[in-house]
A and B are shown apart, each in its own frame.
Chain A
Amino acid sequence: MTTVRTVLIAVRDLRASPLRNLLTALSMLVGVAAIVAVSAADQLVVSAVIAQQEQQQGRASTYEATLPLGEEQSEDALKMHEVVRGAVTDADASAALVASEPVTLRAVDGAATSFNLIQVEGDLQSVYRRPVVVGTWPRPESTLSPAVALNQEAADKLGILEVPAVLRWEVTTDRSATVVVSAILTDGQTEATAYGTWSAIAAARAEAPPLAAPRLLLTSSTVSREVLEQVVTDAAHRVGLPGPIELRRVDTVAETQQTVATARAALFVCGIAALVVAVLGILNVGLATVTERSRELVVRRAIGARRRDVAAQVIGSALLVSLLVAAVAVATVILVVLGVVPRLTSAAAITDPVTVPWPAVRDGIAAALLTGLAGALAPAVSASRLPVADALRA
Chain B
Amino acid sequence: MATTTSALGGAIRRREDPALIQGHGRYVDDIKLPGETAAAFVRSPFARAKVLSIDASEALAMDGVVAVYTAADVDSLGPLIAQLSFAPRPLLNGGEVKHVGEAVAMVVAENRYLAQDAADLVFVDYDPLEAVIDLKDAHSDRVIIHEGSESNTIISWAAPFGAEPEDQQAVRDQIEADKSRDDTVVVSQEMINQRLIPTAIEPRRVLAEWNPGYRSLNVWSSSQIPHALAGGIAVSLGLPTTSVRVIAPEVGGGFGAKLNVYNDEILVSWAAQQLARPVRWVETRREAANSTIQGRGWVGTATIVGTTDGEILGYDFDGIADMGAYTQNFTVAIPFLGLFVGSGQYKMPTYWKIDCVATNTTTTDAYRGAGRPEAVYYLERIIDMYAREIGMDPADVRNKNFIPNEAFPGAVSPIGFAMDTGDYSTNLNELLEVADYAGMKAERDAARAAGRHVGIGLSSYVEVCGFAPSGLADLGFNWATYGLPTAFNGSGLVRVNPDASATVIIGTGPSGQAHQTTWAQIVSDRLGIEVDNIVVKHGDTGDSPMGIGTFGSRSAAVDGAAAYQAADRVREKAAKLAAHLLEAAEEDVVFADGGAHVAGSPDSSVGWGDIASIAYQVHKAPEGTEPGLESEVFFTPSNATWPFGSHLAMVEVDADTGNVEILRYVSMDDCGNVINPMIVDGQVHGGIAQGIGQALFEEAIYDADGNLLSGSMVDYPIPTAGDLPAFELHRTVTPTDVNPMGVKGIGEAGTIGSAQTIVNAVVDAVAPLGVTHIDMPLRPRRVWEAIQEAR
Asked if A pairs with B, the answer is no
Binding site for B on A (CB under 8 A): none
